[in-house]
Structures are given as C-alpha cells and as structure tokens.
A and B are shown apart, each in its own frame.
Chain A
C-alpha cells in the first residue's frame, strides 16, 4: 500500500510533503484537545497499536490475506487529530526503521493514509452516525461505513496525484477505474474489520471510544435525569 520512491515526480512529492507538514502541525494542536497532556504516551501507544494491527493477516480466500490500514479505526477510537498523528508516526517509523515506503514519498504516504484516510473515515463516520438511530450499537456500524469509504477515497486521491505527477503514461480513465474498483473491494474488508474491532471495544470499554462520546453522554443523561443522583467511578 505504501508509495515507494520514484512513483511520483519531485514537485508532486514535495507538494504532498507540504500538505502533510501542515496537517501534522494542525493535528499537534488538535490532539491536545483530544488527549490533553497525556498526548505523548497515549498517542505513542495508540500508534504502536495501529502498527501491530497492520501486522495481523486476515485470511480472504484461496490463501490470500489482507491487513487493516487503520486510519478510520484510529479516528473513531481516539479522535481524528490524534489519529493523524498516530498514522504519521507509524509511517515515519516504517520508513526510517523498516525501509517500508519511500523516504521521498513520506509526505505522499502521510497525506494519503494519515490525512485523506483518517479524515474521510471520520467525516463519513460522523455523517453515518447522524443518520443512524442514536444507539450505542450504531457506533460500530457507522465506523464500518467510515472505514469502507476511507480506502477508495485515498486510492482516488492517489490516482489524482498520479495524473498530476505520475511517472508513467497511463490512461486516466482506466487508472481511476482500476484504482476505484480494486480499492472498493479492499474498502469492504477495511469496513467490516473496522466495524468488528470498534464493536469489540464498545462492548467492553465504551468510555475509551472517542466516536461514542456524544451518544454515551446523551444516554447517560436520559438514564439519570436528575444530576448527582448517582456517581460512576
């Protein structure tokens, strides 16, 4: 999934690096709101979780398997700002420590997975949550829809970048069609897995799921109309 060196020309790589740098700068501020001063250790451990989650192979069929990208998953679990930071750090570590993903394409990879993937996933998640019934059970479903949407969107962004600064002559229409169709399938897997993982966390520790906060706040208010009637430690 990682874009290697030489896929996109130098100007496009540098432009995406600038996009990535601004997104990271904004996220550093935003993450303070999501995690306050616990940001460094918590985001670090969540980044490690995303890294580990990408290592699990999910069997598909006939011996093939795939793995999570985790942008939408991280956005629903810890909030989109922190998720952008986590994906950025995962890509930095993969690029610098594991030679996975080109160093000149780091900005491109951060833009695709850490910005487009995370924020598409989160935006679609919030939209779906607004439409679905206001129950805690809607959170995994909405997360799954966000996870599904994030993959083809990132792929289409890549196709767009390739049209601008690609290094190979490909027919625009067929490139978009190929990227969209393959990544819609991959997106189905990402969506199902995101929904399953969020569902399992919601079942045991709903308080840890950032995307479930509003619904939980509403349901706690509904259950206890009189304030200070009970205190949950």
Chain B
C-alpha cells in the first residue's frame, strides 16, 4: 500500500460508463459479481464470456488494460491460497507435472482464481469510472441507511487529511533517524497511531462544531439526483445480461 492507495482508483473520463448514474452501476456490478459466483465451475468457457463482458465495459469506458492489470495485485493473498489448495484438498489425487494433487482441489483452485479475478476486475471498473462522491449519492438512492452513507461521506472526504497526517508523522520519525526493522520499534509506531487517533477524534469534534455553527440539525441535505432514464437502465443492464447468458448457458449444458 503506497501513497497512491488513498487517492482511490478513479480515472476521470466522459464515456458512457462514466456518465451512467452511480446507483445503476453499483447494482449492475453487484449483479454481475453474484452471477459470476453462481456460475458452475465445471466448464471454463462461461468465464471467458464473463471476461469478455468486462473487457467490453473496459473498452467502452476507455480504461487501459495496463491500469487494470497493475491493480490486480490486491488479489495476491488469495492467489497464494489457490496455489496451495490443490496440495491440501481432499479427494482423488491425480498427477500434474509429476506432482500429486487433489483433483477436486485443482478444480476449486481454478474456480477461486477465476471468480476472484473477475470480481476484482468488476470492482476496479466500478471504482475507475465512478467518482467517490457519486458512489455516495448512488448508495443513498439505493436506500442504504442515511447515517451510514454520511459516515462514509466523512471518510471519503477526510481520508486524504488523515493519511496525510500519518505521512507527516512518518516523515518526522524518519528525519529523526527512525527505521522500523523489528518488533522492538512497535511502541514507537503504536504511539504514532495513538496520536493519530487523538488528532482524528479531535478533528471530528471540530468538524461537528463547525457543522453545528452552519445549522446542522442531525442529518445532511440530500442533493436532488437526476431522474431515471430508460436508456441508462438499458446500458446498466448490459453487463449483468451478458453474465446471465454465460451463467445460464453453463447451467443448462451441465
């Protein structure tokens, strides 16, 4: 996790995908991911259909393949799990490249990798084409509890500030010769986090007072969202429809 992590993954653009209302994009992505998870794993071709659908979205949104590929690193932990899985799983063993592995384990590992990767790609596309602010509006329109969206809104707004605080603290530590190499340095890092908590909490109190002084009465106003257009619905339905075709065909031909 570098400094870039705090900026989110948004890639500004003016494509059809970028302009689609956020709540439709969230539903579309979620439906796609659920269909991917429900796809039987016996055949490989339905996953090619899913991947093609995502690539079509990426192309329409002009999100470069390299952008997506480099950000696939978040899946490293479960890639490790998938690699280990065929060796530890139960069931009949087969020999692959001279190694004895569990056959159902191998199938499960493939399915994990395929579904996990498709899920990450779908989430990456959503994050790349949607501004954090629009995501919040979208979640409000999807009837997520108002208070939860407000908390999330504060997080989205202040994540740069708080991580900036943290960055300045670590620069201050480094400029005094601090170098975290072993658990012996944990107390210093923990004190740093303690200070960060106090600063964040106090900032929260100040923000609240500033809001009160501007007439805050317990909830934030919701900005009017654009009316729903049929064209948007059709565009948003495209991705889950393609996934449903792939998944449905896989179920029928099983």
Which A residues lie at the B interface, using CB under 8 A?
A: 1-2, 4-7, 9-10, 13, 24-25, 28, 31, 37-49, 51-53, 55-61, 68, 77-78, 85-86, 88-90, 92-93, 95-100, 102-105, 167-171, 174, 192-193, 196-201, 203-205, 208
The smallest beta-carbon distance between A70 and chain B, in angstroms, is: 9
Interface assignment of B194: CB less than 8 Å from any CB of chain A = yes
The smallest beta-carbon distance between B215 and chain A, in angstroms, is: 13
Given A2-B77, A24-B148, A93-B159: 14 more A-B contacts, CB < 8 Å: A4-B115, A7-B112, A24-B145, A28-B148, A42-B201, A44-B155, A48-B158, A52-B196, A53-B193, A55-B163, A85-B148, A96-B123, A99-B71, A167-B108
CA distance A60 to B180 in the complex (A): 10
Report whether B124 and A99 are in contact in the complex, using a CB–CB cutoff of 8 Å: yes
Q: What residues on A are CB-neighbors of B198 within 8 Å?
A: 201, 204-205, 208
Report whether B151 and A89 are in contact in the complex, using a CB–CB cutoff of 8 Å: yes
Q: What residues on B are CB-neighbors of A171 within 8 Å?
A: 90
Q: What residues on A are CB-neighbors of B166 within 8 Å?
A: 52, 55-56
Report whether A89 and B196 are in contact in the complex, using a CB–CB cutoff of 8 Å: no
Binary flags per residue of B1-19, CB closer than 8 Å to A gives 1, else 0? 1000100111000000000
The smallest beta-carbon distance between A116 and chain B, in angstroms, is: 19
Closest CB pairs A-B (n = 3) = A44-B154, A6-B115, A5-B119
Q: Among the listed B85, B127, B152, B182, which residue makes an inter-chain contact with A98, where contact means beta carbons less than 8 Å apart? A: B127
How many residue pairs, one in A and one in B, have C-beta atoms under 8 Å apart? 261
Interface segment among B52-60, B203-211, B228-236, B237-245: the answer is: B203-211
CA distance A41 to B204 in the complex (A): 5
Interface range on chain B (Cβ under 8 Å from partner): 35 or more
CA distance A102 to B33 in the complex (A): 8
Q: What residues on B are CB-neighbors of A98 within 8 Å?
A: 5, 8-9, 74, 127
Q: Among the listed B126, B127, B158, B194, which residue makes an inter-chain contact with A44, where contact means beta carbons less than 8 Å apart? A: B158
Interface on chain B toward A: helix, strand, loop, or mixed SS? helix
Which B residues lie at the A interface, using CB under 8 A?
A: 1, 5, 8-10, 26, 29-30, 33-34, 36-38, 41, 71, 74-75, 77-78, 85, 88-91, 102, 104-105, 108-109, 111-112, 114-116, 118-120, 122-124, 126-127, 132, 135, 145, 147-148, 150-159, 161-163, 165-166, 180-183, 185-187, 189-198, 200-201, 203-205, 207-208, 211, 218-220
CA distance A193 to B126 in the complex (A): 34
Please, which residue of chain A has its CB at the minimum distance from the CB of B114?
Answer: A6
Please, which residue of chain B has its CB at the minimum distance from the CB of A196?
Answer: B190
Please, which residue of chain A has its CB at the minimum distance from the CB of B153?
Answer: A44
Query: With A4-B78, A169-B90 given, is the CB distance from A92 to B152 under 8 Å?
Result: yes
The smallest beta-carbon distance between A56 and chain B, in angstroms, is: 6
Please, which residue of chain A has its CB at the minimum distance from the CB of B10?
Answer: A97
Query: With A169-B89, A169-B90, A171-B90 given, is the CB distance from A59 to B182 under 8 Å?
Result: yes
Query: With A53-B193, A58-B189, A89-B155 given, is the CB distance from A99 to B116 under 8 Å?
Result: no
Report whether B116 and A5 are in contact in the complex, using a CB–CB cutoff of 8 Å: yes
Report whether B9 and A99 are in contact in the complex, using a CB–CB cutoff of 8 Å: yes
The smallest beta-carbon distance between B135 and chain A, in angstroms, is: 6
Query: With A44-B150, A48-B155, A49-B162 given, is the CB distance from A168 to B112 under 8 Å?
Result: yes
Q: What residues on B are CB-neighbors of A169 within 8 Å?
A: 89-91, 102, 104-105, 108
CA distance A86 to B1 in the complex (A): 20
CA distance A42 to B212 in the complex (A): 13
The smallest beta-carbon distance between A87 and chain B, in angstroms, is: 11
CA distance A49 to B186 in the complex (A): 18
Q: What residues on B are CB-neighbors of A78 within 8 Å?
A: 201
Please, which residue of chain A has its CB at the minimum distance from the CB of B170?
Answer: A56
Q: What residues on A are CB-neighbors of B132 within 8 Å?
A: 97
Report whether B5 and A103 are in contact in the complex, using a CB–CB cutoff of 8 Å: no
Report whether A97 and B33 are in contact in the complex, using a CB–CB cutoff of 8 Å: no
CA distance A45 to B156 in the complex (A): 10
CA distance A96 to B192 in the complex (A): 28
Please, which residue of chain B has its CB at the minimum distance from the CB of A106?
Answer: B30
Q: What residues on B are CB-neighbors of A4 within 8 Å?
A: 75, 78, 112, 115-116, 119-120
